Structure 1
Amino acid sequence: MGHILLTINPLNDIGNPLTLTSTKEIIPSFPIQKVVQEALRQQGDTGYPQAIILSGCSGSGKTYTSMLVLKQLFELAGGGMETDAFKHLTASVTVIRSLGTARTASNRESSRIGHFIEVQVTDGTVYRTKVHCYFLDQTRVVRTRPDESNYHIFYQMLAGLTAEEREKLHLGDHSVETLRYLKSFPRLQEDAEDAKRFFDWKAALGVLGIPYLDVVRVLAAVILLGNVQFVESSSCLDVDVEGEKELQAAASLLGVSEAALRQGLTTRTHNARNQLVRSRHDCEEGEQSQEIMLHVWNAQLGFSGFARIKLSQHASTVGTAGSRASKSMTALNNAVRHATDGFIGILDMFGFEDVKPSHLEHLCINLCAETMQHFYNTHIFKACIESCRDEGIHCDWEVDYVDNVPCIDLISSLRTGLLSMLDVECSVRGTVESYTQKVRTQHKQNPRLLETKSSDLRSFAIQHYTSKVQYDATDFLDTNRDVVADDLVAVFHKHRCSFGFASHLFSSELKILGAGGMEPSPRGISFRISPTSHSELLNGDEPVSTLTQDFHTRLDNLLRTLVHAKPHFIRCIKINNNEQPDLFDRHTVSKQLRAFQVLETVNLMAYGYPHRMRFKAFNARYRSLALFHQLSRTDDRAIEDCQVILECFENSIDGCTRERLGHISISWAVGKRHIFLSEGARQQLEALRTITQNRAATLIQSTWRGWRCRRRWPIVRQGYHMRFQQMPPPVPPPNAVASNAAQ
């Protein structure tokens, strides 16, 4: 569709599709190569940041396509796949994918982590890379649907650990079938494939400098704690534990005593009028505390890995990691770093999901998908309409598209949006029923908020740009608060915990507990489960921000980055919902094409003015189409030069070209500040520019070669003459000599 690429996922089996390693033997298609070349060209010509934005529903192949784009970018500007920078980035992607990939109902290799890979390019060469990760699906580690799996890393670890490592990690007698958090879904691949992926993941950790044994200790403790359950005690004053062996093993792996871990899971400290009161959990509260603890470990482990990846990426781009650099080299690196404002970003965010029932994480994921669709609408449709109107350009074809701003406002409006109302309900310690009732009252006239067929008052539905999605708000408040009690955090202070990696993960929280020189002990305060930049506490005992506030802030920051970049869109399509290879389902594909407004985009490209260029930029790119003496080449006569170039372009279009294009418009218009072009006109301009440049290059080469031959000819002729003179006289044949003697 013009400069917008539409890709189809054939759902073929290509091994591990979410890593750069899987793309080594794949030859990127010409359209992907063209997108990368155009981004590199525009970044080199203007120094302006570029963003390659991939969008599509879950399972449409966004992540794999982003790997192909990244590989092509390194081949064109990064020195190829054998460079240290590419190997470092490959290791980063491998670690991220194993930690954040799981099987869902619609995608067997669903990436639960969105990423924005920022590639700094200077003078057409890759300088450094940054990986920004967006992680939402934290509850999966303890709650998986019957038709979904836990994160792949757990299955790969069980298949790839050696017998000695399994014994050290207390996993010798365990398998997928005996672990509660993994047995809900059978093993995804054969053990050999899982073991191979685990070996690659282990090697990637070594490249990034992340301690392998420390990470697997935490992962093993997480799945072992899943087998611990709380039951009512006969004394009614305490709770008993089923799975004492697993509790002891988890405590040993985390470097704490079993008693300390049990106390952290079964007690809660409250601050009542500056008096500390400690209460005992019942069975349900113990289970909740256990799940929260595992959420914390999963989030902290992922955050630590991502932070290490960022540090490693940053260090590997300037000099050698770990080497001692001189002051002059440091100053030079800093100067170069500040000079590389232009970058090429590759954005692969969450795909739209319709899970039954959907929860708060899915609402945030779908908000992200709605935002990316709105960004596309704004850049492709709205900007075209407003630019033509502002500069007095009349277009025979009226741009018509569906705007999804009402849905975004329903979810994220500052005061009345669903997420803002959820934050208010969390602050007043409300209930789910009161929250859903307030939502229905506030938005009863909003056509985007729909009632559900069920009688459950805790559910509601939203009409998204793709389809209607029903949400279950039962866990909305707890998920949004995203807090962990300090009783669990205090267990891992270095005085009580011999596992330095664990104490390091909670260093900021433990620092707050030990403020003022006090002993780091529970004081009735709460911390965020997900690591956040807001470490302050509200009223001294609660986190300032919530899960949705942090996500919304990061999404806004991402949009600010994209607004200042030139976007290149890749729209990914899934051919069916059953993951059957090469089976084209018409209904599934048509639904995605309508949601992406592909037909509206095609009509805009064919009959509208989707492209606009400043006069100076137009002259700089297409001035070779006119004769040299026809152009003034001055800024004050830029419009006249543009008109001369367009006249030459019009004269070059013959009848055969017009007949071949058919109904496709090759029109243009001159505005107040821009030249407006249809897609057909842009393509013909580019084709004519290529022909003109090739013709000029051929003429230059032939002229230079002729001049070079003429200049060298006297020397060559003299050499031939000297060789001819030095040659001995020809010797007559023997028969001729005998004949002469006889005569």
Structure 2
Amino acid sequence: MTLHISSTPSGRFEAWKACLGVLGIPFLDVVRVLAAVLLLGNVTFIEGQGLEVDIQGGSHELKSVAALLGVSSAALYRGLTTRTHNVRGQLVKSMCDANMSNMTRDALAKALYCRTVATIVRRANSLKRLGSTSGTLSSDSNESVHHQGEVASQHASTVGTAGSKASKSMSVLNNAVKHATDGFIGILDMFGFEDPKPSHLEHLCINLCAETMQHFYNTHIFKSSIESCRDEGITCEVEVDYVDNVPCIDLISSLRTGLLSMLDVEGSVRGTPESYIQKVKVQHKGNGRLFEPKANHIRSFGIHHFANRVIYDASDFLDTNRDIISDDLVCVFHKQSCNFGFATHLFGSELKALFSQDPVPRGVSFRISPTSHTDLQNGDEPVSTLTQDFHTRLDNLLRTLVHAKPHFIRCLRSNCSEKPGHFDRATVIKQIRALQVLETVNLMAGGYPHRMRFKTFTLRYRLLVPFKKLRRVEDKTVDDCKLILEYFVRSLEDVSRSSTVAIQWALGKRHIFLSEGARQQLEMLRIEMRHRAATLLQAVWRGWHFRRRWPTLKRNLELRARSRTVRPRPQPIAGTPPPDVMDRCDQKTIQQTCSLFGLDLERPPPVPPSRSYTITGNHKMGYPQTRVMKRKFPEEGGGDSVLLKGESVVVVGASSRRGHLLVDHQGHSFHVPFQYMELKPSAQPGVNI
């Protein structure tokens, strides 16, 4: 299915709707969840007269949210405003204040949104896997959610197999496809540096990712090039002075003393934002990357990032890091109290773990983001926190990048106000300096940014040298590299005069170091040599192929030349006995017959013209006709101009040769004896005689 994405909002909306249909996800179910998320923002809890909290502006917004999610408004209100606690084995239910209720409301909105997105992603990935027979998620029934296995509750599809043999064979096929697709091309679209006012925990995680990617860029481009040249005794004239941001990364993500690790510890001991900030300042008192804001707020701190200085407000750090949703709210979406199957499916893993034992609710917490059954809980709390999950995903990303061959594309923002066609010089210069673009250009222009093993270099560029001159021995790899470079220098005599790009290289202990200009010229010569070799191969093959076909082509040309000449006079059939003397007519009868029909005794009558039809049984069949070859024609012929046995051909008329029919096949004409062909079994139009 091919979708043409429109540039208009309505066109993009229709394209998104069609994509959900391809995935088998009901469009209206997703719209109901998104509408509920938007309306939740209008629900604001305020302190009431008694123990319960009130809803600002009335409860009509809450009733609309409850109707969209398929639950009663009373049950949703209880889930948002009450909390069950397990105190020494006794369950105690308490009322939440307005602040806690609003935080629970935000947690529900985040859970609905991120779980909907995760369901769509998992659904798309399950359809990509070979052999998955996926159904459609439906809001009419909860059976597909509560009566499937563990795998079905984690994925938004039902995967079935027909018996153990089919399951085993499909498993083998899936493993084969997995190993066959280990190599991939990935695009990492990095979010930019975040500096809002104020900045929260989410922005700290985003900036940590930006710092890590910048460090990976520095290591891949600058540090590895400089250290490799130093280790192998190569002198590089270019001095690259880049900013190392490892201290900033250690400040945030160090295992024991990092800001995120200390945040996890503070959350486990039920600390406060003030105690967290105080411990951070004591631990990192002499760290130059950490600074105190001028306002000297007790809940804020500042970090000097590679791109800018950012001030963070830690008031919500602890609550955001817990990233939890109470079981009082999760149990509202059980199938007994919720008639919206898609919403029940979003909390399928949590509901299965929650209702596996009594009582419900019992004072446990779950993660806002979707988790598997094995990672749901550690006692009454989730196994991991928001920052721990972020660390895990960031480590997996780095592990993938380390084993890949990355190419970097630097994108610059033209202005801070996001105005089209407006170029702010100060904003662009700040980004260029922060991303160290000038240092990168300097290294590429005058240094050795590329290095290759001797064997790898020889295998890639050995076609630049005549094959017989290469040693092709493991011990002589360096000699082959020098020979390749000699021929490379000869080919660059004309290029060097007209080009200003530095073309230089150096041989190290294990690698050959190349400048950017040398690498580009080597690649251009390699492409040119491969192109010439491909042209030569094509020319040789085409000549051989034409010479092989020439006898058949020559014979066909001669046959065509003969068919254009005058039809010869028919000869008498050899072996015909002379007529009996008694059967001969007298001369007078012959003369009368000739004069009657206008014939000349000295010249035989002309041959009658070819018929425009053939007779089969009692039917006249006109041309063209479709016939089937009974044998190969010509029998000794080869090449493309051959009619094979069993092949269907089109007879366009009678041939000028006696007993032959004229066949037109693939742009060629053939004079084929009628014994070589037979009519197709299917009935063809004809006229009864």
TM range (shorter): 0.7 to 0.9
* Equivalent-residue separation in structure 2 for 1:202 and 1:713 (angstroms): 59
1:537 shift after superposition: 6.5
Helix, strand or coil for the counterpart of 1:252? helix
Q: Which residue of the partner structure matches residue 270 of structure 2?
A: 429
Q: Which residue of the partner structure matches residue 600 of structure 1?
A: 439
Structure number with bigger Rg: 2
Choose from 676, 681, 684 the match for 2:513: 676
Change in Cα spacing, 1:391 to 1:510, as seen in structure 2 (3 Å) is same
Q: Does 1:563 align with 2:393?
A: no
Using CA pairs below 8 Å that are at least 6 residues apart, which structure has the higher relative contact order?
A: 1
| Mean Cα deviation higher: 211-220 or 270-279 | 211-220
| Mean Cα deviation higher: 708-717 or 417-426 | 708-717
Change in Cα spacing, 1:256 to 1:618, as seen in structure 2 (3 Å) is same
Are the aligned partners of 1:535 and 1:543 in contact in 2 as well (CA < 8 Å)?
no
Change in Cα spacing, 1:319 to 1:208, as seen in structure 2 (3 Å) is closer
| Mean Cα deviation higher: 285-294 or 474-483 | 285-294
Counterpart of 1:273 in structure 2: which amino acid? R
Q: Does 1:364 align with 2:178?
A: no
Q: Which residue of the partner structure matches residue 647 of structure 2?
A: none
Counterpart of 1:653 in structure 2: which amino acid? L
Helix, strand or coil for the counterpart of 1:389? helix
Choose from 448, 453, 473 the match for 1:614: 453
Change in Cα spacing, 1:283 to 1:317, as seen in structure 2 (3 Å) is closer
For residues 566-614 of structure 1, the C-alpha deviation after alignment (integer angstroms, 9 at most, x for no partner) is 1121111222223233333222222222122111111211221111122
Are the aligned partners of 2:193 and 2:210 in contact in 1 as well (CA < 8 Å)?
yes
Q: Which residue of the partner structure matches residue 488 of structure 1?
A: 329
For residues 288-338 of structure 1, the C-alpha deviation after alignment (integer angstroms, 9 at most, x for no partner) is 222222222222222222222222233589999989785646533432322
Are the aligned partners of 1:318 and 1:333 in contact in 2 as well (CA < 8 Å)?
no
TM-score by length of 2: 0.72
| Mean Cα deviation higher: 244-253 or 471-480 | 244-253
Q: Does 1:472 align with 2:313?
A: yes
Q: Which residue of the partner structure matches residue 297 of structure 1?
A: 112
Helix, strand or coil for the counterpart of 2:401? helix
Q: Which residue of the partner structure matches residue 135 of structure 1?
A: none
Change in Cα spacing, 1:524 to 1:315, as seen in structure 2 (3 Å) is same
Are the aligned partners of 1:359 and 1:473 in contact in 2 as well (CA < 8 Å)?
yes
Change in Cα spacing, 1:564 to 1:288, as seen in structure 2 (3 Å) is same
Counterpart of 1:309 in structure 2: which amino acid? A
* Equivalent-residue separation in structure 2 for 1:728 and 1:304 (angstroms): 78
Change in Cα spacing, 1:628 to 1:231, as seen in structure 2 (3 Å) is closer
Change in Cα spacing, 1:403 to 1:649, as seen in structure 2 (3 Å) is same
Are the aligned partners of 1:461 and 1:471 in contact in 2 as well (CA < 8 Å)?
yes
Q: Does 1:522 align with 2:361?
A: yes
Change in Cα spacing, 1:640 to 1:223, as seen in structure 2 (3 Å) is same
Q: Does 1:262 align with 2:94?
A: no
Helix, strand or coil for the counterpart of 1:374? helix
Q: Does 1:585 align with 2:427?
A: no
For residues 44-93 of structure 1, the C-alpha deviation after alignment (integer angstroms, 9 at most, x for no partner) is xxxxxxxxxxxxxxxxxxxxxxxxxxxxxxxxxxxxxxxx5x76xx99xx
Q: Does 1:503 align with 2:344?
A: yes
* Equivalent-residue separation in structure 2 for 1:331 and 1:510 (angstroms): 33
| Mean Cα deviation higher: 694-703 or 418-427 | 694-703
In structure 2, the gaps of 5 or more residues are: 136-156, 567-689
For residues 207-235 of structure 1, the C-alpha deviation after alignment (integer angstroms, 9 at most, x for no partner) is 1111222222222222333333334444x
Change in Cα spacing, 1:469 to 1:722, as seen in structure 2 (3 Å) is same
For residues 401-426 of structure 1, the C-alpha deviation after alignment (integer angstroms, 9 at most, x for no partner) is 21111111111111111111111111
Q: Which residue of the partner structure matches residue 206 of structure 1?
A: 21
| Mean Cα deviation higher: 569-578 or 192-201 | 192-201
Change in Cα spacing, 1:422 to 1:652, as seen in structure 2 (3 Å) is same
TM-score by length of 1: 0.67
Helix, strand or coil for the counterpart of 2:395? helix
For residues 90-122 of structure 1, the C-alpha deviation after alignment (integer angstroms, 9 at most, x for no partner) is 99xx9xxxxxxxxxxxxxxxxxxxxxxxxxxxx
| Mean Cα deviation higher: 531-540 or 704-713 | 704-713
Q: Which residue of the partner structure matches residue 499 of structure 2?
A: 661
For residues 460-494 of structure 1, the C-alpha deviation after alignment (integer angstroms, 9 at most, x for no partner) is 22111111112111111111111112111121222
Are the aligned partners of 1:534 and 1:545 in contact in 2 as well (CA < 8 Å)?
no
* Equivalent-residue separation in structure 1 for 2:369 and 2:555 (angstroms): 84
Choose from 93, 118, 121 the match for 1:306: 121
* Equivalent-residue separation in structure 2 for 1:489 and 1:569 (angstroms): 43
Change in Cα spacing, 1:329 to 1:415, as seen in structure 2 (3 Å) is closer
Counterpart of 1:652 in structure 2: which amino acid? S
Are the aligned partners of 1:399 and 1:608 in contact in 2 as well (CA < 8 Å)?
no
| Mean Cα deviation higher: 573-582 or 530-539 | 530-539
1:365 shift after superposition: 0.7
Q: Which residue of the partner structure matches residue 694 of structure 1?
A: 531
* Equivalent-residue separation in structure 1 for 2:99 and 2:379 (angstroms): 27
1:427 shift after superposition: 1.0
Q: Which residue of the partner structure matches residue 253 of structure 1?
A: 68
* Equivalent-residue separation in structure 2 for 1:193 and 1:727 (angstroms): 65
Alignment RMSD (CA, Å): 3.1
Q: Does 1:543 align with 2:382?
A: yes
Which aligned pairs between 1:114-513 and structure 2 lie closer than 5 A? Answer: 193-234=8-49, 236-241=50-55, 242-315=57-130, 326=166, 328=169, 331-513=172-354
Are the aligned partners of 2:350 and 2:376 in contact in 1 as well (CA < 8 Å)?
no
Are the aligned partners of 2:129 and 2:174 in contact in 1 as well (CA < 8 Å)?
no
Change in Cα spacing, 1:427 to 1:651, as seen in structure 2 (3 Å) is same
* Equivalent-residue separation in structure 1 for 2:182 and 2:270 (angstroms): 45
* Equivalent-residue separation in structure 2 for 1:726 and 1:246 (angstroms): 91
Helix, strand or coil for the counterpart of 1:348? coil
Are the aligned partners of 1:532 and 1:550 in contact in 2 as well (CA < 8 Å)?
no
* Equivalent-residue separation in structure 2 for 1:318 and 1:257 (angstroms): 35
* Equivalent-residue separation in structure 2 for 1:657 and 1:364 (angstroms): 49
* Equivalent-residue separation in structure 2 for 1:503 and 1:216 (angstroms): 15
Change in Cα spacing, 1:467 to 1:227, as seen in structure 2 (3 Å) is closer
* Equivalent-residue separation in structure 1 for 2:133 and 2:483 (angstroms): 48
Change in Cα spacing, 1:546 to 1:534, as seen in structure 2 (3 Å) is farther
Are the aligned partners of 1:534 and 1:544 in contact in 2 as well (CA < 8 Å)?
no
For residues 529-587 of structure 1, the C-alpha deviation after alignment (integer angstroms, 9 at most, x for no partner) is 12234855766211121101101111101111111111121111222223233333222
Counterpart of 2:398 in structure 1: which amino acid? L
* Equivalent-residue separation in structure 2 for 1:209 and 1:200 (angstroms): 14
* Equivalent-residue separation in structure 2 for 1:717 and 1:339 (angstroms): 49
* Equivalent-residue separation in structure 2 for 1:499 and 1:724 (angstroms): 82
Helix, strand or coil for the counterpart of 1:269? strand
Counterpart of 1:209 in structure 2: which amino acid? G
Are the aligned partners of 2:293 and 2:302 in contact in 1 as well (CA < 8 Å)?
yes
* Equivalent-residue separation in structure 1 for 2:185 and 2:480 (angstroms): 32
- The total of aligned residue pairs comes to 539
Are the aligned partners of 1:227 and 1:243 in contact in 2 as well (CA < 8 Å)?
no
Helix, strand or coil for the counterpart of 1:571? coil
In structure 1, the gaps of 5 or more residues are: 1-83, 95-191, 730-743
| Mean Cα deviation higher: 581-590 or 613-622 | 581-590
Helix, strand or coil for the counterpart of 2:192? coil
Are the aligned partners of 2:367 and 2:376 in contact in 1 as well (CA < 8 Å)?
no
Choose from 468, 471, 488 the match for 1:649: 488
* Equivalent-residue separation in structure 2 for 1:459 and 1:338 (angstroms): 49
* Equivalent-residue separation in structure 2 for 1:344 and 1:318 (angstroms): 27
Identical amino acids, percent of aligned pairs: 63
1:253 shift after superposition: 2.3
* Equivalent-residue separation in structure 1 for 2:129 and 2:299 (angstroms): 46
